[in-house]
Structure 1
Amino acid sequence: MTMAELLALPPAVSVSTAARALGIGKDKAYELIKAGRFPAQVIPLGATRRVATASLWGTLGVHPSDSR
């Protein structure tokens, strides 16, 4: 995922999108979530899980000002 793609993400993304940004597979991401070890904030929404983009950026060391 490019820096431009990361910076264009909405406030919360799917686990699949977060996994792609982290360079891991979706199955590994769900395994980490289940173990409570996913490296970004996971937001439970019923049976669905979303990942907070700001937390994902923090994990990746990305800052919105990087787009300048």
Structure 2
Amino acid sequence: MTMTDLLELPPAVSVATAARALGIGQDKAHALIKGGAFPARVIPLGATTRVATASLWEVLGVRA
């Protein structure tokens, strides 16, 4: 994922998109979320989980 891609993300992204940005697989991302160790802020929305983009940027050291 390029810097341009990261900066164009919406305010919250899917776990798959966050995992891709972090360079990990979806299974690993879900395991980290389940264990409470995902490095970015997770937003549970019923059966769906989203990741706060600003928090993801912070983890990746992106300055918008």
Calculate the TM-score normalised by the size of structure 2.
0.99
Give the ranges of 4+ consecutive aligned residues of structure 1 lying more than 4 Å apart after TM superposition: none
State the superposition RMSD in angstroms.
Answer: 0.2
Percentage identity across paired residues of the two chains: 77
Describe how 1:16-55 pairs up with structure 2 within 5 A.
Answer: 16-55=16-55
Classify the secondary structure of the residue corresponding to 1:59: helix
Calculate the TM-score normalised by the size of structure 1.
0.93
Q: Distance in 2 between matches of 1:22 and 1:49?
A: 16
* Residue of structure 2 in register with 1:58 after alignment: 58
Q: Which amino acid aligns with 1:23?
A: G
Aligned length in residues = 64
Post-superposition offset of 1:61: 0.3
Q: Distance in 2 between matches of 1:35 and 1:53?
A: 20
Q: Distance in 2 between matches of 1:55 and 1:27?
A: 20
